[in-house]
Amino acid sequence: MKIIDRLKEDKIHISFEVFPPKTDEGYDKVVRAVDEISRLDPAFISVTYGAGGGTSRNTAKIASHIKDDLGVLSLAHLTCASSTKEEVRTVIGNLEKLGIENILALRGDIPEGMKFPDADRFRYAYELVEEIKKHGDFCIGAACYPEGHVENEHKADDIRYLKQKVDCGVDFLTTQMFFDNDIHYNFLYRIREAGISVPVLPGIMPITSAAQMKKSQQLSGTVFPRRFLAILDRFGSSPAAMRQAGIAYATDQIIDLLANGVKNIHIYSMNKPDIAAAIMENLSEIIKA
């Protein structure tokens, strides 16, 4: 089944993201986490792509396990900056052989020290989308950035590039994490005005430790509202309290989104099934309403 068909259903869908192990030794631990998350009845589970192709084979392996063994829709990430065009084509062919119908097409981070762009790599995500369209009947997702992409100085340029990507064959979008829902609502208004009509899944990241917050800010450049910073200042030194506060904050974001008509929400689980389960418990009756 294609994710776009599920998203069109008139009901609430909560999905989760997991990431493959950095080494093969960590594979079983990740699979155990995935198995636990699958018990939460997610709309789908997405699997990120191992940088540099080293452990990226585990992306397809885990996505296949989710689909075939757990009976849950899976979404395989595919990035192109760290792989040659031929490597990308090989991955697409492998996903098709495994019966994986859903791909999230990303440029990805540029590996440190790599000359980029070069003729042997796709430079932009829209080029990857075009390539995927050539090789099978996939449902294609892509990323979007409510606060603007760090490489684009002007938000108008960001939306113009996003529309170019969508027009190449993107079926749905997933946002980078954000912590102020007003940013998301404003972003939706601007992209709809620009003619982008595909479903947009807000990406929610439960921040349950001060270290996680710092890392998230370094990676994404996201803005933390004063309300969240106050939570961090008050509870950041207590792991148990910060965990509870982070779950509550993410739950509050999701409840506000649902109350404002958003039906499809993607949670960055960080391979923590206990956090995912706590959020779903908080939403158990709300999802049914």
Q: What is the CATH number of the domain that holds 167?
A: 3.20.20.220
pLDDT of residue 214: 74
Please list the rounded mean pLDDT of every run of 10 residues in the chain (289 residues): 96 97 90 98 94 70 97 96 91 96 91 74 94 96 86 74 97 96 96 97 94 73 88 93 96 98 97 98 94
Contact residues for 5 (Cβ-Cβ < 8 A; gap 6+): 139
Contact between 49 and 106 (Cβ < 8 Å): yes
Nearest to 21 by CA among 53, 52, 59: 59
Nearest to 143 by CA among 80, 203, 183: 203
> What does the alpha-carbon distance between residue 156 and residue 177 come to, in Å, rounded to a whole number?
20
Contact between 232 and 242 (Cβ < 8 Å): yes
pLDDT of residue 148: 78
**206 prior amide bond cis, ω within 30:** no
pLDDT of residue 153: 56
Q: Please count the structural domains in the chain.
A: 1
pLDDT of residue 152: 55
> What does the alpha-carbon distance between residue 185 and residue 89 come to, in Å, rounded to a whole number?
36
pLDDT of residue 154: 61
The catalytic residue positions are 17
Contact between 138 and 102 (Cβ < 8 Å): yes
Q: Name the one residue in this structure whose structure tokens are 């062919």.
A: 93
Residue type, 280: M
> What does the alpha-carbon distance between residue 287 and residue 32 come to, in Å, rounded to a whole number?
26
* Residue 269 tokens, joined: 């689980």
pLDDT of residue 281: 98
- Structural domain containing residue 245: 3-288
Instruction: Assign 114 to helix, strand or coil.
Output: coil
